[in-house]
Amino acid sequence: MAKSGESARLLLNQLADERSRRVVLVSHCLLNENTRYAGGATRPGAVTEVVDELITARVGIHQLPCPEQLAWGGVLKRHTLRLYHSKGGPLYAVRGALLSAFIVWTKVVYRQLARRVVRQVADYHRAGITVAGIVGIGASPSCGVSTTLDMRASLEVVAACPAAALTRDVMNEQAVLGCRRCGPGLFINALDRELTRRRLTLPAFEHDLAAELRGQRQAVLATPAPRTLGTAAAAAAKGH
């Protein structure tokens, strides 16, 4: 592994070109808001200030897969829609069991996706390219770095809300921002564990979804990363 990495660096030096040899992993919907949950897109496509900041920083932009699109039934997350407006119906009575099974399924899919992403991180390293960090999304149940979504609380909001009353404001202010909690999202957690297993670390930055929804521009890389992924085992040991 070490010899392979050294050979890659020698080759890049010999065939020196314009690449910065630095890349940042970026949550999918920051580059393509068409995959956001319904009501959550604030841009036609990319969050331009994030893109501009990364271009200014002279780093490559590696778009991560959208884990929810792949695990939850496509762009519209169709597997989640069955419990919308469900209060009073047969599904509402078993919502707790359904959500528990749904989370187990999600963790299985996310573990597979995390392994694929971490293999790509390792490949960058072998090629002599530094992965300078990952940009997650605060309040996301999947890609939150230091803030995520209480999925049970969010489910109660959308299940109890009549179809005609479920507006964009209700979705964003009550079902998302109103149900935030501290902690990582499920996909970030899976990446943390897989990076730990491969003995790799990665600074994790967080784009603030609340600020974006309220029209506030932000500089993601301007402050230190709130956490470093790849330290799950050490954190667990410290907790004991």
Rounded Cα–Cα distance for residues 176 and 163 (Å): 17
Query: What pLDDT does 233 receive?
Result: 52
What band does 166 get if pLDDT is binned at 50, 70 and 90?
very high
The stretch 163-180 carries a mean pLDDT of 96
* Identity of residue 93: A
The stretch 9-24 carries a mean pLDDT of 88
Residue 155 has which token pair? 């489910």
Nearest of 173, 224, 233, 172 to residue 203 by alpha carbon: 224
Query: What pLDDT does 223 receive?
Result: 87
The stretch 181-192 carries a mean pLDDT of 97
The stretch 58-66 carries a mean pLDDT of 98
pTM: 0.91
- Residue pointed to by tokens 């930055």: 205
Rounded Cα–Cα distance for residues 76 and 68 (Å): 9
Sign of the C-alpha dihedral computed for residues 135, 138, 39 and 159 taken in this order: positive
The stretch 207-221 carries a mean pLDDT of 95
Question: Three-class SS of residue 208?
Answer: strand
Residue 161 has which token pair? 């809300």
The stretch 190-203 carries a mean pLDDT of 97
